[in-house]
Chains A and B, each alone.
Chain A
Amino acid sequence: MISNIAEDEDKWLAEGIAGIQHNAFYMHRSLDSNNLREALKYSAQMLSELRTSRLSPHKYYELYMRAFDELRKLEIFFKDESKHGCSIIDLYELVQHAGNILPRLYLLCTVGSVYIKSKEAPAKDVLKDLVEMCRGVQHPIRGLFLRSYLSQVSRDKLPDIGSDYEGDADTVMDAVEFVLQNFTEMNKLWVRMQHQGPGRAKEKQEKERSELRDLVGKNLHVLSQIEGIDLEMYKDTVLPRVLEQVVNCKDELAQYYLMDCIIQVFPDEYHLQTLETLLGACPQLQPTVDIKTVLSQLMERLSNYAASSAEVLPDFLQVEAFAKLSSAIGKVIEAQVDMPVVGAITLYVSLLTFTLRVHPDRLDYVDQVLGACVKKLCGKPKLEDSKATKQIVALLSAPLEKYNDIVTALTLSNYPRVMDHLDNGTNKIMAMVIIQSIMKNSTCISTADKVEALFELIKGLIKDLDGFPVDELDEEDFKDEQNSVARLIHMFYNDDPEEMLKIICTVKKHIMTGGSRRLPFTVPPLIFSALRLVRRLQGQEGDVVGEEEPATPKKIFQLLNQAANDCDLEPVAYEFFTQAFILYEEEIADSKAQVTAIHLIIGTLQRMNVFGVENRDTLTHKATGYSAKLLKKPDQCRAVYACSHLFWVDDQDGIKDGERVMLCLKRALRIANAAQQMATVARGSSGPVTLFVEILNKYIYFFEKGNSQVTSSAIQGLIELITSEMQSESTTPDPSSDAFFASTMRYIQFQKQKGGAMGEKYDSIKA
């Protein structure tokens, strides 16, 4: 059934076009032979095709355009009096004899255009006549197109100031009157469309009406182009008249479109000065009109206007733009009870953007907007609509981006209240946005109060919120979140140690609620923050951290050791070492991790000078013992010779126990030998001699430091051992150990050639 109609329409359109072409052909012939009568006859016939009621607006437009093109040729003919011999005034009279009104009026408009151009009559008179005569066509589609034609041909002939057709003192007013009248009549026709035509589906009707809206809107565009209109005239005449028509037509489609049109077409400074009038019209519109979009558009335009130049800002203050907009929005939200939450939030977002652009220093305005939002959200369950949440995130992000300083946002009392209304997922997203803003701007948070307020905002990241267990979260995302929190902790700083201590305690209080999954991320940065503070408080009791932190890597303990060392707190340091060893025994099973851990223990212990002899002995004994028990022999060897440094510290009061150094080195040598033999047994060839070369280097190290236990003959012996190993048939050649040995020997040579005390030392060693 429907496809039939579409087919029929195409058929009718084709017929119409054929009709136009047919008559146009004869019209052209008449024009060529300068036959006015014939030309008028055929053009009237041609225009009769436009009398059809059978076409939808879309198809009618096609027909219209064909006619339009042909009429241009006719107009050229009319203009040239020499061709047809008829004066323009007579022509104007002549065309009115056409039989049917529609062709008559099209021809009249065409002649009218020529008439105005000839300047034989004032433009205003011709225009007035035409716009009145068009009343004869009351059919909506036909009337709209006719008046559109009038508008098109008259566009460049308005009696505007500075135009060729300028009239007397009221000339601009005449132009305005003409356009306003045309607009008013067109709008009436347009609105009437919805009542016409039996059985037309509402949707189809709306679609058709939509297609025609630009015809109506064009008039407003023309108005905006009239140069002679100044702010006064706009304020006093143009806007009130347009708004009157908009309100009185009581048509939802028209009202929405035209309000939008007004906002888009006229300059922003006009809108600013007529804000009250414009906003005043809003409550008078039909309740079903999507006024919030209109308001949002208006605010966006005004925001952009404010951003464009600082000079216009005082105007905003002068007209009290914020107050007016704010109250208008309030009224709209109140009136439209069924407006979904997302609509209200969008309005507030637009208002907030406006406020941030125009009144950035008025934090009270910003807070007011947020407060209004809270009021709207109050009493409703947590938002689930994703569009609404997106809008709220936009709402909350705007102040962050504007002020680049989270501290400002923290002063907005309604900010956390808005956040409370977000669902947990979005709350966390917002928290991340906040953290990123801080990181990007390198903002330093300097008081415990601010830290407290901040943690309140980002609490979704700090701990499990009700009903949202941590397990549900993606592993990667969780890591990113917690790493962000970790980095955030470093942004808290104050020069004043007391305040810093308060900050640290506040942070500790909050992260402790995080649960075991979060602590490994959040505790280390706090500890380091505390250590930095301790260092500043050097010498004072700084026992800020120290309780159990589950799952903390033992490496932290090393640093705590060192810190305790710095503070001369031997018992505390000893306790830390004990804990470290216990962790080593119980928690570190991976052999690679063990190697690293033992090196950390040895390295730390080597630097500690706070221990008395007994304690130090116990610890070094433990360290050496664990070294020898590592899984792989090469690792054992290396750890043990590293332990040799535990007994030799280069400071002036440092321990320098040459014997125990040698014991370690000899033990390392034994392990190296054993490793060598194992390799022989297992693989049928000796392993690389690297370990021996390493130990040789250690011998040299202590030899140079003056350890009497390391004799030149010991070194010589080791050199010979290595050389024979390398030359042995069963050894697989290893280029890197060869190179290592070679560079070691080069070093010995270099030292020998140095002369002086060093050269003497090396004298007995043969390279």
Chain B
Amino acid sequence: MVLVLALGDLHIPHRAPDLPPKFKSMLVPGKIQHIICTGNLCIKEVHDYLKSLCPDMHVTRGEYDEDSRYLETKTLTIGQFKLGICHGHQVIPWGDLDSLAMLQRQLDVDILVTGHTHQFKAYKHEGGVVINPGSATGAYSSITYDVNPSFVLMDIDGLRVVVYVYELIDGEVKVDKIDFKKTATTNSAH
């Protein structure tokens, strides 16, 4: 059982002051094995805070990130799954699932984590799963109205991944979960 936290689009300090207190109290160091961040943190302070939750942190560059060393895309392997990360402002049309599927094929990954739209999505297609953890702070977005703060926790166990999505709606944290199973035959050429 490997826990992976996926979040992004915090936009601190331009669009939000901080993570919601209810989220902050849930995110405790030492419980999570990996952090995947889609980008738009934006300042070093936020990077340091996330790093304190878990040292194995993977960040891709959002268009507002101040740190220019973040990569445009990143891939990593966790257990039986290959994961890809990309902020998503580079994939046009924004939020378009078919275009995102193309990126997924290009990166050759089972799970693609992207952001930019500030809206949670978990979409399964023949090539794998596309997950958008939304905006962890509920930051303003020109693409989505009424952004609720959200983040995703993935529990990777063998060929199965359970995706828990945490959303802050009207001051309450609501949790939902989605199951994905990877069939052995969809392994790629590697």
Contact = CB atoms under 8 A, between A and B. Distances in A.
Interface in B49-87: 63-64, 68
Interface string B75-106: 00000000000000110111010110110011
Contacts of B16: 490
Contacts of B101: 747
Judged by DSSP, the binding face of B is: loop
A511 to B, nearest CB: 13
Contacts of A609: none
A747 B13 contact: no
A524 B140 CA distance: 12
Contacts of A559: 140, 142
A535 B98 CA distance: 29
Interface residues of A, number: 56
Contacts of A442: 18, 21
Nearest to B92: A642
Given A596-B89, A600-B63, A739 B14 contact: no
A704 interface: yes
Interface string A733-747: 001101110111011
Interface stretch (A72-80, A244-252, A383-391, A525-533): A525-533
Given A603-B94, A642-B92, A528 B105 contact: no
A486 interface: yes
B94 A528 contact: no
Contacts of A184: none
A483 interface: yes
A578 B17 CA distance: 31
Interface in A749-767: 750
A603 B63 CA distance: 12
Given A596-B89, A599-B89, A607 B94 contact: yes
A200 interface: no
Given A563-B142, A602-B92, A606-B92, A486 B190 contact: no
Contacts of B45: 480, 483
A457 B153 CA distance: 42
A744 B140 contact: no
Most buried by A among B13, B126, B188: B13
A619 to B, nearest CB: 15
Nearest to A694: B106
A532 B140 contact: yes
Interface residues of B, number: 36
A740 B17 contact: no
Given A532-B140, A558-B142, A742-B189, A603 B14 contact: no
A694 B102 contact: yes
A750 B16 CA distance: 43
A696 to B, nearest CB: 10
Contacts of B18: 439, 442, 487
A312 B106 CA distance: 72
B99 A701 contact: yes
Interface in B126-143: 126-127, 139-140, 142-143
A525 B89 contact: no
B15 interface: yes
A490 B98 CA distance: 36
A561 B142 CA distance: 9
A488 interface: yes
Given A555-B64, A694-B102, A528 B92 contact: no
A645 B92 contact: yes
Nearest to A556: B14
B43 interface: yes
User: Chain A at the B interface: mostly helix, strand, loop or mixed?
Assistant: helix
Contacts of A532: 140
B89 to A, nearest CB: 6
A739 B142 contact: no
A562 interface: yes
A743 B94 contact: no
A739 B93 contact: no
A701 B94 contact: no
A604 B95 CA distance: 12
Contacts of B9: none
B138 to A, nearest CB: 11
Interface in A432-481: 439, 442, 479-480
A525 B13 contact: yes
Given A600-B89, A697-B102, A739 B188 contact: yes
A697 B103 CA distance: 9
Nearest to B145: A535
Contacts of A645: 92-93
Interface in A648-702: 649-650, 690, 693-694, 697-698, 701
B167 interface: no
Interface string B25-65: 00000000000000000010100000000000000000110
B17 A488 contact: yes
A432 B129 CA distance: 44
Nearest to B61: A596
A491 interface: yes
Contacts of B108: 736, 739-740, 743
9 contacts: A480-B45, A528-B15, A596-B89, A701-B99, A739-B188, A740-B105, A743-B188, A746-B127, A747-B105
Interface of A: 439, 442, 479-480, 483-484, 486-488, 490-491, 521, 524-525, 528, 531-532, 535, 553, 555, 558-559, 561-563, 592, 596, 599-600, 602-604, 606-607, 642, 645, 649-650, 690, 693-694, 697-698, 701, 704, 735-736, 738-740, 742-744, 746-747, 750
Given A487-B13, A746-B126, A750-B126, 7 more contacts: A483-B13, A607-B94, A645-B92, A736-B106, A743-B105, A747-B126, A747-B127
Interface of B: 12-18, 21, 43, 45, 63-64, 68, 89-90, 92-94, 96, 98-99, 101-102, 105-106, 108, 126-127, 139-140, 142-143, 145, 188-190
Which 10 residue pairs are nearest across A and B when measured between Cβ atoms? A562-B142, A486-B13, A487-B17, A490-B17, A743-B105, A524-B14, A487-B13, A739-B108, A697-B102, A642-B92
